[in-house]
Amino acid sequence: MAPRRQARSEFSVERAHRRVQPSVAARRSPWRHLTNCGGRGMAAPAGATGIVYDDRCARHCLPAREGHVERPTRTIVIWETLSRLGLAERCVRIPARCAEYDELALTHSSEHIAVVMDSDSHPYTEEEPFRYVDPDTYVCPGTRTAALLAAGGLIDLCERVVLGELANGFSVMRPPGHHAGLDGPMGFCLFNNVAVAANVIQERYPEVQRILIVDWDVHHGNGTEDIFAGNDRVLFQSIHRGSGFYPCSGGVDDIGKGPALGYTVNVPLPRGGMGDAAYLEVFQKVFVPIANEFKPQLIIVSAGFDACDGDPLGGMSVTPKGFSQMLSMLIPVCSRIVLALEGGYNVQAIANCSAACLGVLLDGAVSTDSPAQNGKSKTRKQLLMQAEVDEMIASVRTVHLPFWSCFDEPHPLSDTVTTVDSRAATLLAQIDSMKSSIGLSTEAQASTVAAAGDAGIPSASEPPSSHAPAVANPHDEAAVATLCDALVGLAVAREQPGQ
């Protein structure tokens, strides 16, 4: 069989015909109640949780010697863990099927689709049974099948949730998708599964006017953002690691374009090491208020777990409980929620995170209280990180103030943050001027000057203000420590304004 004919064989005429025929459930018009869904989204019917898993997604793989982090064990270990815990058997297993060409073409260019469809016709060799289509993304003889199943399985899962046949669902499939854009694969991603599913749902069911995509993968979902940048029927929210972290996109000022200004919400966290408290605060003060105003009829989560503590790439500290709490915060907005696996490369960690989230889908929301401190005061590092998160939240709210009425009320920290930044910048300017003249030991630098620099607040060019503590001897190590302690005090002021 010729390669091109073989590549197109996945898209059978019979299946394409079947796809465009409305199902019995669709003819029942389950959307008749949508006009009364209310301000907090559409309530899901009583029903089961669906799950998609197909071991054929393991066909997309490299030889073990290559050591690629996006490997079949990711989904295999997740499925084994969900089965061992008895969670998988409580779900309705939805068979994966290959996405159709016309479904993919709603999102991707023909050239993009051809790259994936032709991946099994390349003249591979025993020595090199794969090739790269970008610096990070490989294809092999099994790539086409895996990629089509990942996209098609998510489409069907979303459709069943939309039709009320399922309450919610989780697609445990790979390869991931959120970096894949309109015109090509990128960053381990072949097709943008979430974008494909969202576009198919809105094309097939015009009544679905509002879909929310929440991306909590540690990497910015640049492909998803680009695909929906001008679409005001899709709200895209992404919390990710910023400050030059791959793919170096997703700034606060990236807010969409044209009629969809304000429908892209990016929260780039300024450093690694941030955990549950930071993520939950972003959800509470940014994502959930906007989502409630948007009133989504379906939520799709790009559920990357590479922000989990212990991930070899992410460098963050979110726990499985933290992910489950984020998911719990979305349920009151709209309980028709579908999770799609994205990144995450510590296989046991992502299995634990998947189990925690599936537990929420099956049993309902968990407590979303802030993580307890176990009776201990926050460390200097924790206080500085908290100050950075508060500053980022204030920035995001300010940028989106023209687009969302939920931000009409001033952020309770905005005045405090402005004052704190001015004082902190002055303190850091003092510290910077002292670095060259103080003969600090390496150990002292690590505990004082470096701690202050970690605050991440830009240095100020103005002279020290009267708010800065007096420093009797600029050559004294204790003087730097005093300044650092002052920074911590300002961080506390950010955290507890008005006290």
- For residue range 460-484, list pLDDT tens digits in order: 333 333 333 333 344 445 555 555 6
Q: What are phi and psi of 10, to 5 degrees?
A: -60, -25
Is 179 a known active-site residue?
Answer: yes
* pLDDT the model gives residue 99: 99
Is there a domain that residue 421 lies in?
yes
Nearest-angstrom CA–CA distance, 245 and 254: 16
Tell me the sheet residues that pair with 241: 269
Is there a domain that residue 5 lies in?
no
Q: Which two tokens stand for residue 102?
A: 């016309």
Write the DSSP symbol of residue 463.
P
Is there a domain that residue 151 lies in?
yes
Same domain, 63 and 145: yes
Query: Is residue 497 pLDDT above 70, yes or no?
Result: no
Same domain, 328 and 396: no
Closest C-alpha to 334, from 110, 101, 158: 158
Give me the torsion for CA of 72, 166, 353, 307, rounded to 10°: 80
Query: Is residue 280 pLDDT above 90, yes or no?
Result: yes
* pLDDT the model gives residue 433: 55
Same domain, 405 and 305: no
Q: Pick from 363, 388, 414: which residue ends a domain?
A: 363
Is there a domain that residue 467 lies in?
yes
Give me the torsion for CA of 325, 336, 190, 176, rounded to 10°: 20
How much helix, strand and coil, in percent to the nearest 5, is found in the chain? 45, 10, 45
Q: What global pTM score does this model have?
A: 0.78
* pLDDT the model gives residue 131: 95
Write the DSSP symbol of residue 318.
B
* pLDDT the model gives residue 484: 60
Neighbours of 306 (CB within 10 A): 27
Query: Is residue 249 pLDDT above 60, yes or no?
Result: yes
Tell me the sheet residues that pair with 138: 132
CATH of residue 335: 3.40.800.20
Q: Which two tokens stand for residue 1?
A: 């069989």
Closest C-alpha to 217, from 241, 184, 190, 242: 241
The domain in which residue 193 lies consists of 39-363
Is there a domain that residue 445 lies in?
yes
Same domain, 159 and 213: yes
Query: Is residue 434 pLDDT above 70, yes or no?
Result: no
Write the DSSP symbol of residue 36.
G
Same domain, 441 and 333: no
* pLDDT the model gives residue 81: 99
Same domain, 133 and 85: yes
Q: What is the pLDDT of residues 56-79, one digit of tens each?
A: 999 999 998 899 999 999 999 999
Q: Pick from 329, 363, 397: which residue ends a domain?
A: 363
Average the pLDDT over 280-308 and give the result: 99
Same domain, 354 and 400: no
* pLDDT the model gives residue 37: 33
Q: What value does the mean pLDDT of the chain take? A: 82
Average the pLDDT over 268-272 and give the result: 97
Split at pLDDT 50, 70, 90, the class of 485 is low
Is there a domain that residue 25 lies in?
no
Split at pLDDT 50, 70, 90, the class of 1 is very low
Same domain, 172 and 276: yes
- Within 13 Å and on the Cβ side, how many CA atoms surround 215? 32
Alpha carbon of 299 to those of 161, 210, 310: distances in Å?
Answer: 10, 9, 28
Average the pLDDT over 216-240 and give the result: 99
Same domain, 232 and 306: yes
Beta carbons within 8 Å of 111's beta carbon, 6+ residues apart? 183, 184
What is the separation, in whole angstroms, between the first and last Cα of the chain? 76
Nearest-angstrom CA–CA distance, 448 and 249: 32
Query: Is residue 199 pLDDT above 60, yes or no?
Result: yes
The catalytically annotated residue of 112, 179, 219, 220 is 179
Q: Pick from 333, 363, 393: which residue ends a domain?
A: 363
Split at pLDDT 50, 70, 90, the class of 410 is low
C-beta separation of 400 from 436 below 8 A: no
Query: Is residue 239 pLDDT above 70, yes or no?
Result: yes
Same domain, 318 and 435: no
Split at pLDDT 50, 70, 90, the class of 488 is low
Of 242 and 432, the structure prediction assigns the larger pLDDT to 242
Position 154, amino acid: L
* pLDDT the model gives residue 490: 55
Is there a domain that residue 185 lies in?
yes
Closest C-alpha to 333, from 305, 373, 375, 291: 291
Strands (E), 81-167: 92-93, 131-132, 138-139
Q: What is the pLDDT of residues 331-340, one digit of tens each?
A: 999 999 999 9
Q: In terms of C-beta density within 10 A (0-12 exposed, 13-18 middle, 19 or more buried), how is residue 374 classed?
A: exposed
Same domain, 144 and 174: yes
Q: What is the pLDDT of residues 69-118, one digit of tens each?
A: 999 999 999 999 999 999 999 999 999 999 999 999 999 999 999 999 99
Same domain, 185 and 238: yes
C-beta separation of 452 from 484 below 8 A: yes
**Count of domains in the chain?**
2
C-beta separation of 433 from 462 below 8 A: no
